[in-house]
Structure 1
Amino acid sequence: MNKELFEAINFLEKEKGINKSILIEALEAALISAYKKNFKSATNVRVDLNEEYGKMSVYAQKEIVEQVDDPQQQISIEEASQINPSYEVGDVVEIEVTPRDFGRIAAQAAKQVVTQRVREAERGIIFNEYIDREDDIMNGTVQRMDGRFIYVNLGKVEAKLPESECMPTETYQVHDRIKVYVTKVENTSKGPNIFVSRTHPGLLKRLFEMEVPEIYDGTVEVKSVAREAGDRSKISVYARDEEVDAVGSCVGQKGQRVQTIVDELKGEKIDIVEWSEDPIVYVSNALSPSKVVRVIVDEENKATTVVVPDYQLSLAIGKRGQNARLAAKLTGWKIDIKSETEARDEGLIVAGDVDKSKESIHYDDTSEYDESLEDLDEDLFK
């Protein structure tokens, strides 16, 4: 049985990736506990597992004293000298006390220890594998659903997709294949707990990294993402090389690259704008598809007042303030939008003012903006 035990330990090290020394150490501790329990011994004992000879031995450890008060813990100097004349008072003598039926006890202990350690090791391996996937995209299959979560099979583990992290425009069926963004990986006593999202801005960023080689290799950099999942998103990009068209790279030939992402997000509209360190240019770009007459910057309060043509005021604000709200999230600047007439009345602009915006691209028609300003909540974007 002993040789079979060591063969099993070596197999587990190779197949499960469990360090053999950890298994042996745990097994020795379990055997000590089993010995004390089965033989009612309070003696300090040591278990030796000799892989070379396939042998397990139990040794009682006793302290050498001149007068024995506790026979289970102590041994007299006279008795110790019979074992080895060089022993002195205070030394510890090891005496083999291996029971005849210790193999049966060892088998029971080994089964419990190995089972427990295998489970712990497998949980650890899975956790280490998935902790590296935090803030990344993974492909999964919808496994089941309950009132709180949609459970997505990621291969070795089931991830939890909370209802709050589902896109409002999507419905899921068992066996549906979806891409999810890993937001958090927790290590628990029952194994890794993985949470994923379909609404996180990071999902959009990772999708662009997957579809746009220039982003993946660092030629084009994603600077910021603002997202209202299932409806509209804005993403700002930048290329240090002036000869590289950052926005065009994300669009792709005939819009194929961005369309792939739009399809993955079930028709979510995406504005791709060029990032600039100049807040005037950046805010102007971020308000795409609206044209901008002038941007007045308040550096101290990190706020801007943006003047747009009268006929594009509703376009700049967007449906329920969405365009302005996303632009503010994207740039990190507060944005107050005024029409050209209102700005002239307040003396904010004079004839000849023009916008400084650079390239930006908006994907979708603007029919949703053709609504009365009376339906807009201007507090949403201030």
Structure 2
Amino acid sequence: MNAEFIEALGQLEKEKGISKDILIDAIEAALISGYKRNFHSAQNVRVDINRNNGQVRVFARKTVVEDVLDPRLEISLEAAREINPAYQLGDIVEIEVTPADFGRIAAQTAKQVVTQRIREAERAVIYQDFIDREDDIVTGVVQRADNRYYYVDLGRVEALLPHSETMPGERFKHGDRVKTYITKVEKSTKGPQIFVSRTHPGLLKRLFELEVPEIYDGIVEIKSVAREAGQRSKVAVYSRDPNVDPVGACVGHRGMRVQTIVNELRGEKIDIVRWSDNTEEWIANALSPSKVISVTIYEEEKMARVVVPDYQLSLAIGKEGQNARLAAKLTNWKIDIKSESEANPGPEDAELPSPEEQD
């Protein structure tokens, strides 16, 4: 190694943010192993790299003792004082043992260490970048697929999109551009692993934040999201400004804003409902598009009994109970839906008295 190599390490420090001293310390540690391996040495050694000219020197470290039992690790007091009269028992003596061709080994080792450290530093930067983007949307290009994952190129790294995190019937081919939601970022021996989803409720929330300026500006707030991916979702919104209609802001002019999101989610139906701090009103809104006659709250059971017009019962419950199920998820309340005739039976629905009662 030479002064040019030291300059190159300085340049790396500026470009990659990897400390030159840390790199040199790592090279020195690797060279100790390289020396012992290549020269079959069991002695304690120290490798020193000159920070100015890059010169590499190897020193055997020996302890000063009265009686030498292992000459590879020990040196007599008499021999030590021939080197320097100041040595005492227990001191460490360093004797240069640099092999003639050690420069070649040093160059190869340094290259491997630097390459590895650069790779580790780049992985650390990528990890730090993406750990800060958990719960965010990224757009990538599908590269390939296997039985478990789609591999989505995000530029500097591939994300893993599990098949279980795609919407029903959704299939991707090589080259497809796809928006996904980062659910988890993990460290691994091969670098950061980034897991993404197309079914997570957070994807819907982030799409609204990107599409609706009032949400981005903090005027309109998304209070909760309930989603059955690829089929139907409910989004509860609230406006901090009484002059701004939160539902209208999310729907957009002629429905353009919400339609853009529906298209991204391959036709998923989206109900946008107004959040309220009044529980009865909030639950009634959550059952939209069904009309609601009354809501009775049972605080201890965290349950609500909802009465709807007879002709609205199937709409309130929804296909296979989907509307009621999503409303319950959205509000975090158990919801029991009754038709008006069930809740208020007429005289013709009353039970006939028993024969004993008639007598």
Give the TM-score normalised by structure 1. 0.86
Counting only pairs closer than 5 Å after superposition, residues 303-342 of structure 1 correspond to structure 2 as 303-342=303-342
Task: Say whether residues 1:143 and 2:143 are aligned partners.
Answer: yes
Deviation, structure 1 residue 222: 1.1
Sequence identity percentage: 67
Instruction: Write the letter of the residue equivalent to 1:252.
Output: G
The 2-side partners of 1:134 and 1:189 are apart by 20
The 2-side partners of 1:37 and 1:268 are apart by 63
Q: Is the 8 A contact 1:2 1:103 kept in 2?
A: no
The more displaced of 30-39 and 338-347 is 338-347
Deviation, structure 1 residue 346: 8.9
Partner of 2:133: 133
Instruction: Write the letter of the residue equivalent to 1:264.
Output: E
Q: Is the 8 A contact 2:61 2:73 kept in 1?
A: yes
Q: Is the 8 A contact 2:6 2:52 kept in 1?
A: no
SS in structure 1 opposite 2:258?
helix
The 1-side partners of 2:2 and 2:346 are apart by 93
Structure with more contact order per residue of length (Cα contacts < 8 Å, sep ≥ 6) = 1
Go from structure 1 to structure 2 and tell me whether the alpha carbon gap of 1:337 and 1:77 turns closer, same or farther (over 3 Å shift).
Answer: same
Partner of 2:82: 82
Q: Is the 8 A contact 1:207 1:261 kept in 2?
A: yes
Partner of 2:72: 72
SS in structure 1 opposite 2:59?
strand
Deviations 1:283-330 (A, max 9, x none): 000000111000011110111110001111111111111111110110
Instruction: Write the letter of the residue equivalent to 1:234.
Output: K
The 1-side partners of 2:118 and 2:346 are apart by 74
SS in structure 1 opposite 2:273?
strand
Q: Is the 8 A contact 1:215 1:221 kept in 2?
A: yes
Deviations 1:86-123 (A, max 9, x none): 22221112222212211011122223322332332222
SS in structure 2 opposite 1:188?
coil
Q: Is the 8 A contact 2:6 2:53 kept in 1?
A: no
Deviations 1:324-364 (A, max 9, x none): 111011000011111111111299xxxxxxxxxxxxxxxxx
Task: Say whether residues 1:198 and 2:198 are aligned partners.
Answer: yes
Q: Is the 8 A contact 1:169 1:266 kept in 2?
A: no
Q: Is the 8 A contact 1:305 1:336 kept in 2?
A: yes
Counting only pairs closer than 5 Å after superposition, residues 1-382 of structure 1 correspond to structure 2 as 1-345=1-345
Instruction: Write the letter of the residue equivalent to 2:174.
Output: V
Q: Is the 8 A contact 1:59 1:95 kept in 2?
A: yes
Instruction: Write the letter of the residue equivalent to 1:124.
Output: A
Instruction: Write the letter of the residue equivalent to 1:180.
Output: T
The 1-side partners of 2:36 and 2:173 are apart by 55
SS in structure 2 opposite 1:238?
strand
Deviation, structure 1 residue 202: 0.4
Specify every segment of 5 or more residues in structure 2 that has no aligned partner in the other structure, as ranges. 348-359
SS in structure 1 opposite 2:192?
strand
Specify every segment of 5 or more residues in structure 1 that has no aligned partner in the other structure, as ranges. 348-382
The 1-side partners of 2:30 and 2:295 are apart by 73
The 1-side partners of 2:168 and 2:20 are apart by 50
The 1-side partners of 2:21 and 2:51 are apart by 12
The more displaced of 17-26 and 43-52 is 17-26
Instruction: Write the letter of the residue equivalent to 2:340.
Output: E
Go from structure 1 to structure 2 and tell me whether the alpha carbon gap of 1:346 and 1:334 turns closer, same or farther (over 3 Å shift).
Answer: farther
The 2-side partners of 1:125 and 1:21 are apart by 19
The 2-side partners of 1:242 and 1:190 are apart by 52
The more displaced of 24-33 and 120-129 is 120-129
Q: Is the 8 A contact 2:3 2:52 kept in 1?
A: no
Partner of 1:380: none
The 1-side partners of 2:40 and 2:269 are apart by 74
Deviation, structure 1 residue 243: 3.1
Shift >4 Å, 4+ stretches: none
Q: Is the 8 A contact 2:16 2:118 kept in 1?
A: yes
Go from structure 1 to structure 2 and tell me whether the alpha carbon gap of 1:102 and 1:308 turns closer, same or farther (over 3 Å shift).
Answer: same
Instruction: Write the letter of the residue equivalent to 1:323.
Output: N
Q: Is the 8 A contact 1:239 1:246 kept in 2?
A: yes
The 2-side partners of 1:331 and 1:92 are apart by 73
Q: Is the 8 A contact 2:283 2:331 kept in 1?
A: yes
Deviations 1:244-300 (A, max 9, x none): 322222222332221221121122111111112222011000000111000011110
The 2-side partners of 1:289 and 1:158 are apart by 41
C-alpha RMSD over aligned residues: 1.8
The 2-side partners of 1:149 and 1:165 are apart by 9
